Chains A and B, each alone.
Chain A
C-alpha cells in the first residue's frame, strides 16, 4: 500500500502527558499537512511542510504543539502537557507542490486525553 500512513491509529493518554504521532506521506510527495478534526466539524488546518521547511502554522497550533519533518520524508507531531481539549482526530495529508492536485489523507490518529 503506497498511501499516506499514520501511527498510532489510536492513543489514550492522561492529562499532562506528552504524545507524539508519526505520518509517512506518499513517497514522491514533497508537501505534508497536519489537520485536526473534532466531532461534528471538518478538518482544521494546523501546519504544513514543503520538504523540510515548515511553511505555515495555524494560530490553533499553541506552544505545546510542535511538528517536524527533519529529512523531508516522514513527519512527527508532538503535543506536550496534553489537555482534555486536545482530544481529536489528527489527520495527515500529502501532495506535490506546484500543482492544484488534491491532498491525499491518511487514516488519522484518534487521541483521547483522560
Chain B
C-alpha cells in the first residue's frame, strides 16, 4: 500500500517560472511532512518541512502548503532555476522514527 503518492513522474518548467510539485497521502496519523531533493549519485538532501498544525511554511524560494482535509501537500519553487533540476521526494512521518517516501517527481528547469 502506497501511503504517500506523487502522481506526476516528471515536470518541465521554464526558468523564472513557478514549479509546483504535488503529493498526496492516505494515513491520517501522519503529522510531519518533508521534501527532499536528490541529484544523481547523491543521497537525498533535505529542503523544507511542515508540521500538521500548520498549513504553510516558507524558506526563501521554497514554500510548502499542507491541506489536511484533502490529505495533500505541495511544494512551490519561485522563481525556478536550472540548478533546481533534480528528483523531488515528499516524505511523511507519524511520530515514529521512520519516513515514508513518495515515488518522486523529476523536475527539469529549462534555461
- A interface with B by C-beta (< 8 Å): 4, 31, 33, 35, 40-45, 48, 50, 55-56, 58, 91, 93, 97, 100, 102-108
Contacts and interface: CB of A to CB of B under 8 A. Distances in A.
Nearest to B93: A100
Contact of B99 (A41, A103, A108): A103
B75 to A, nearest CB: 14
Contacts, number: 60
Interface string B82-105: 000000010101001111111110
Most A Cβ at <10 Å: residue of B4, B45, B97: B97
A105 B43 contact: yes
B46 A104 contact: yes
A100 B46 contact: no
A14 to B, nearest CB: 24
Given A42-B103, A100-B49, A100-B51, A33 B97 contact: yes
A40 B97 contact: no
Contacts of A103: 46, 99
